[in-house]
């Protein structure tokens, strides 16, 4: 299709497939799928039960899943369970200022919240004890080197091929770091929080994963497959970082769907699920649930008026930041 002539103009944020047969990872993924569907149906009590089952699979929840379970518990005013989930988020590096968001207004009025305020510094101290500082510092350095090179693309006619040598070198150091220090889990490095109150679905080092894929690293897949198996990395995030998908794109403040890709693609159930989440997130998410809705972002490029775009894409929903 004609869209692929324009791939170099896109900023990737996409979705696709990296498979592992590990039962715990598959079970967890299916549980989260069910919980999010129940949330979209506003069946918060049942969604909470499913999150509890997901936790029991490996005594673990990813931060975004804790956040969504927390929001569901707030809706049914289970303040005791809510503060337990708050503490779990804080043990992944979320600071007390995160909860200044209006989403937690009712929780902050409770006596249970007063207990959190009294011990949040102690929780923060416990989180910091669990950090792998060598891993954290090394990832920061590698990201800085990586981003310095990518920022030069477009300057003095530099293109991607001009920085690929550095990318390959950074990737080699990155893979060796993971082998020596272990995979950077949320507990080892802390989660990524944007503007104090927005929990990122992506880990702090996701750009290194993406560029490792672009460097055609043969070492990335086995490392990430093991991390997915151990519930240290979300399968859908890895899939999207290592595949380019343009089924749903963001142009300015509008989301468009490529009907050809979504109709004839091999992952119809996953596509339908993603479409439902995109619509929910942008039209009916007053509570503020944190759903992963990857989009290929074009920006304000004027593609909407081009014939190839109008032929391939149809408007889906207005994008809500």
Q: Which of 3-17, 135-149, 241-255, 283-297 has the lowest mean pLDDT?
A: 3-17
Fold observed for domain 18-129? 1.25.40
User: Could you read off the pLDDT of 112-129 as tens digits, one per residue?
Assistant: 999 999 999 999 999 999
Give the β-pairing of 296-297 and 248-251: parallel
Residue-level pLDDT at 159? 61
Residue-level pLDDT at 243? 82
User: Could you read off the pLDDT of 199-237 as tens digits, one per residue?
Assistant: 999 998 998 998 888 777 678 889 999 999 999 999 999
Share of the chain above pLDDT 70, in %: 87
Residue-level pLDDT at 320? 87
User: Could you read off the pLDDT of 151-161 as tens digits, one per residue?
Assistant: 666 556 666 66
**Hey, how many other C-beta atoms are within 10 angstroms of the C-beta on 42?**
11
3-class DSSP state for residue 216? coil
CA atoms of 301 and 85, how far apart (whole Å): 42
Residue-level pLDDT at 17? 38
pLDDT above 80 for 294:
yes
User: Could you read off the pLDDT of 73-90 as tens digits, one per residue?
Assistant: 999 999 999 999 999 999
Helical ranges in the chain per DSSP H: 23-40, 44-58, 63-75, 79-90, 111-130, 133-150, 160-181, 186-189, 206-214, 220-229, 235-241, 259-264, 268-283, 307-312
Residue-level pLDDT at 19? 44
- Paired tokens of 22: 């590990």
Residue-level pLDDT at 225? 92
Please give the angle made by the CA atoms of 17, 20 and 26, to the nearest 5 degrees. 95
Its pTM stands at 0.88
User: Phi and psi for 63 in degrees, rounded to 5?
Assistant: -55, -45
- Mean confidence (pLDDT) of the chain: 87
């Amino acid at each position: 299709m004609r869209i692929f002539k324009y791939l170099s103009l896109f900023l990737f944020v996409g979705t696709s497939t990296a498979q592992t047969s590990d039962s715990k990872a598959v079970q967890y993924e299916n549980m989260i799928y069910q919980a999010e569907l129940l949330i979209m149906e506003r069946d918060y009590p049942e969604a909470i039960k499913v999150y509890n089952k997901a936790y029991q699979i490996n005594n673990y929840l990813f931060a975004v899943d804790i956040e969504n379970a927390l929001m569901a518990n707030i809706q049914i005013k289970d303040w005791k369970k809510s503060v337990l989930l708050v503490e779990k988020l804080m043990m992944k590096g979320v600071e007390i200022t995160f909860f200044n968001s209006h989403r937690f207004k009712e929780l902050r009025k409770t006596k249970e919240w007063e207990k959190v305020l009294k011990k949040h510094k102690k929780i923060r101290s416990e989180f910091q004890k669990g950090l792998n500082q060598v891993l954290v510092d090394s990832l920061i350095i590698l990201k800085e080197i990586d981003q310095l090179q990518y920022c030069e693309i477009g300057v003095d006619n530099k293109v991607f091929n001009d920085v690929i040598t550095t990318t390959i070198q950074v990737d080699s150091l990155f893979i060796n770091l993971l082998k020596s220090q272990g995979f950077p889990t949320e507990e080892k490095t802390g989660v990524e929080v944007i503007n104090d109150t927005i929990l990122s679905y992506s880990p702090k080092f996701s750009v290194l994963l993406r560029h490792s894929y672009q460097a055609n690293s043969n070492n990335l897949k086995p490392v990430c497959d093991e991390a997915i198996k151990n519930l240290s990395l979300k399968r859908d995030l890895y899939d999207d970082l290592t595949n380019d998908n343009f089924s749903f794109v963001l142009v300015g403040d509008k989301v468009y769907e490529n009907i050809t890709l979504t109709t004839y693609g091999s992952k119809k159930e996953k596509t339908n699920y993603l479409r439902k989440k995109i619509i929910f997130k942008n039209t009916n998410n007053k509570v503020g649930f944190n759903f992963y809705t990857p989009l290929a972002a074009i920006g304000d490029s004027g593609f909407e008026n081009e014939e190839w775009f109008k032929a391939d894409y149809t408007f889906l929903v207005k994008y809500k930041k």
